[in-house]
Chain A
Amino acid sequence: MKRPLRRVGYAIIVMVVLLLGNVAYTQVIKADDYRGDPNNKRTLVAEYSRQRGQITAAGGVVLARSDPVDDQYSYQRVYPEGAVYAHPVGYYSMRYGPTGIERNQNEILSGEAPELIAGQLSDLITGRDPRGGNVQLTLEPAVQQAAYSAMNDKGYVGAVVAIEPATGNILAVVSTPSYDPNPLASHSDATQRQAYNDLVNADPSPLLNRAISAVYPPGSTFKLVIAAAALQNGFTPQTAVTGEPTITLPATGGATLSNFGGETCADAGGGDVTLTQALAHSCNTAFAEVAMQLGGPVVRKQADALGVDGQPSDVGLDVVGSRLGDIPDTAALAQTGIGQRDVAVTPFEMAWITATIANRGDRMAPHLIAQTTKPDLTVISQTQPQSLGQAIPIPVADQLRDMMIESEKNTPGSGSIADLAIASKTGTAEHGTDPKNTPPHAWYVAFAPAENPKVAVAVLVENGGDLGTDATGAKVAGPVGRATIAAALAGGS
């Protein structure tokens, strides 16, 4: 019995050796695969527990930071400015993942970016926890705050985007209603869930970034694109266009297209008016006819050049594509000419188009990220202004500017600033299944000072703001835009 028992003892040794071999294979050779597997929550937890970099606005205003805390995750993400910056900055939620800049710049902020790995190696040797890099945004706190307050104080649902025309620096990205991102970054799963469910169930949705993720009919603001195309195709600001209150659309069996309130254009009694007057008084019949004269391909070419091409863009945040629609027939082309029918744009795209006109047709790439830095504040990368080319010839852009100055003069609504020439265009866009009885979306796009533009803005207020079906772009969106411009110019930027 002793000899077989001894062999059983050897068998036990073999079993232990087999286990050891297999465990060594698992913990040494396969370890990297297992650590990096996307289904391995531990990696996410480790990232969550790291000192994440700061997000700051221009002038060093802290928008997101990680404070050391005494719990299992070691650092609590804090958003000192709360709802004002919630949409561009986003939130960093364990349960729902990151959004906004927190998502777009996650590699830098979490310290996973290749530029930061070298620093981490020395961190490992010195025994410090790896830290994330910092992201500095182009947002101007005064502009962002003014735009947010103008929208939020009135309870408007909509968006404001402000861009510096010469550089493409994004000065403000506001979407209302907004929300406090702090509970979503809570270390308490229950708090996260509660906050998220409240936001998901709220109507209108605070989570939707209306500046970049929603598209609206641009209405009359789109006449700028049509005018840009016309001025390159035989039109001048003085070219005579129709002043009729109503025109009949071809091949529709008598469908008509009217000016706002069925009025004649520029009180000219229905006689011809100039293109400048038509733009300043936002006459629908004139621009419908201009679009029909230009033809679909010409209109589409100019729209494409200005970025209304259906393609999304990454400006530090992902902007959904703006589009012109299919334009299946001439009637559709007429409606496209006044920014209705299938035309759908983001407020961001309208601000971009406005900034391009302000920059004399030279289309700058907009960007939200000014620079990224390492934990020791040495620069990783800096965004340089980048031209995407001449989207509108310089003389045409100048003509458009002058026409927009005339337009501003015809725009009622409060907030005008003494001694400041603003170039603007309003829009009052119909939408829904019963357009005449649905409060319209109110638009206002503008840049100032007109001769030496420092800021271009686009304002969208959904469903007429506080004026219902009486709303116009001038009355509702105009004051928000001027408040934003005033803040941008007051800062001396």
Chain B
Amino acid sequence: MAEFWMLVFAAVVVTSALVIVELNQNRTLSWELAYYGGGYLIALAVAHLLIRRYAPYADPVLLPIVALLNGIGLVMIYRLDLAREISAINRGEEVPTPQASLQLVWTGVALVCFLIVLLVVRDHTVLQSYAYTLALIGVVFLAIPALLPSSLSEVNGAKIWIKVPGLFSIQPAEFAKIALIIFAAAFLVSKRTVLSTAGKKVFGLVLPRGRDLGPLLVALLLVLGIMVLGKDLGSALLIFGTFLAMIYVATGRVSWLVIGILGFSAGAYLAYRMFAHVRVRVDIWLDPFGDPLGNGYQLVQSLFGLGTGGIFGTGLGAGRPDIVPFASTDFIMAALGEELGLVGVTAILLLYLILTARGVRTGLAAKDGFGTLLAGGLAFSLALQMFIVVGGVTRLIPLTGITTPFLSYGGSSLLSNYVILALLVRISDSSRRPAEAPAVPAAPAVPLDQANTQMVPAVAPPAHGGRG
């Protein structure tokens, strides 16, 4: 029941936010708002009931937090729609297609996907068997935009989309990310022992043996290559960071971190020297006010928005977050910071912290190594993605285009993040499930000497992996 009441709370917060937007925009309140709020609650309640039915022991905090983030995102996207509508009318231009209704549809689709994953993947350990298949699919999917003509794959200079004209666009990186994390978790679990023990010792660092990591490194380099060529630096950084964290979790070796960071530094330096767009990004980061109306415009406007919002914000619907370009996607945190202030940003960041901390806890509680690595990897990827985009928007780190999980406008991002949520819910269900009723090793039905021989895995088998 805790989950249900938290969902009610989320729905109330989101509906209230919607009411505030309407009031601040001087629009008349109608019962339609209550329908939206009620509809949102019903959709969430259905998800809640299905979770309780198919993953009864799952962490009850995960879905409500995601519902709240998703709802706040929807309200802000709707609010930006209003602003775009007004400015289009003022300019005498055609009113652009509202994004909020589309995002609402995507939310529905994402919830359905969430439930499908929950229903199909009844036990996360089965994913291990598809590790290499998933990796292959992920890499191929990721490579498709590079092979498509620009008209079907390029948006704002980044060639990372698959566009189905007139229908929708997919960002394969969002989905490839999940496949690759599953692959990495499965691979690392199977190679764990070798990875954490073998290797030469240099300057106190135990150097790992490269060949043990072969397939993972091949996959990683392939993926990074594709992403960097497609100018998707944010995703490249995300995948790299997540893989590094997963290798560290699997091996417990700091040496891997040091090597990874050195490698990253070399890569970053090379990218800075080789690509003009990387240099531009870094220069903007170092001095956004050097060209406030040109290259620095986005970041400068984002900072203005945050500064104008101050501690308490202008109030939802009372600021001008639409001045920042891409306010509903990459810069949604700037929009929220302007209208909700430092207080609101802090609340949202804490929601992410709780969400990812619960994810890490799921990993810690998992009864199998694969579950631990997968939950840890997924949770960290959410946190890192949030860090990369929010850090970029607030000028903590250079800006790289990437969506804010659950908040930003975008179907691919929403779908893939709900899939991540489904996997976390699934793992948490199995890790929190009470040890199965004393299935006290019933007296062997067959005399031991007549029993079939068994394969004994190198890693301790999942304690409850009865269905495996």
Chain A residues with CB under 8 Å of chain B are: 1-9, 11-13, 15-16, 18-20, 22-24, 26-28, 30-35, 37, 39-43, 45, 70-72, 187-190, 193
Contacts and interface: CB of A to CB of B under 8 A. Distances in A.
A5 B306 contact: no
Contacts of B90: 187-190
A27 B92 contact: no
A445 B253 CA distance: 95
B345 A27 contact: yes
Main secondary structure of the interface of B (DSSP, over half): helix
Given A1-B252, A19-B387, A34-B306, A39 B360 contact: no
Interface stretch (B153-161, B205-213, B272-280, B351-359): B351-359
B56 interface: no
A20 B86 contact: no
A42 B337 contact: no
Interface stretch (B97-105, B175-183, B389-397): B389-397
Contacts of A71: 26, 86
B372 A12 contact: no
Interface stretch (B111-119, B230-238, B242-250, B405-413): B242-250
B364 A5 contact: yes
B73 interface: no
Given A27-B311, A190-B91, 11 more contacts: A1-B192, A6-B360, A8-B376, A12-B383, A19-B390, A26-B395, A27-B345, A28-B310, A34-B307, A35-B308, A35-B310
A229 B80 CA distance: 69
A30 B302 CA distance: 13
A42 B26 CA distance: 19
A26 B357 contact: no
Contacts, number: 154
Nearest to B382: A12
B342 A23 contact: yes
Interface string B322-361: 0100000000000001000110011001101100110011
Contact of B86 (A28, A35, A43, A72): A72
B248 A4 contact: yes
A196 to B, nearest CB: 13
Given A19-B394, A23-B394, A27-B311, A1 B245 contact: no
Contact of B360 (A12, A37, A190): A12
B91 A20 contact: no
Contacts of A70: 26
A8 B380 contact: yes
Contacts of B346: 20, 23
B307 A27 contact: yes
Contacts of B396: 18-19, 22
Contacts of B395: 22, 26
A42 B320 contact: yes
B308 A23 contact: no
Given A12-B383, A187-B90, A28 B305 contact: no
B323 A41 contact: yes
Given A20-B346, A42-B320, A27 B337 contact: yes
20 contacts: A11-B245, A12-B356, A12-B379, A13-B353, A15-B384, A19-B391, A19-B394, A23-B345, A23-B394, A24-B342, A26-B303, A26-B337, A27-B307, A30-B307, A32-B307, A33-B307, A34-B306, A39-B292, A40-B308, A190-B92
A43 B248 CA distance: 48
A1 B356 CA distance: 17
A42 B249 contact: no
B138 interface: no
A42 B86 contact: no
Contacts of A1: 192, 249-250, 252, 369, 372-373
A19 B395 CA distance: 10
B323 A27 contact: no
A19 B364 contact: no
Q: Closest 5 CB pairs between A and B?
A: A34-B307, A190-B92, A189-B90, A9-B360, A27-B342
Nearest to A194: B92
Contacts of A8: 245, 248-249, 360, 376, 380
A37 B249 contact: no
Nearest to B305: A42
A11 B360 CA distance: 11
Nearest to B307: A34
Interface in B82-97: 86-87, 89-93
Nearest to A71: B26
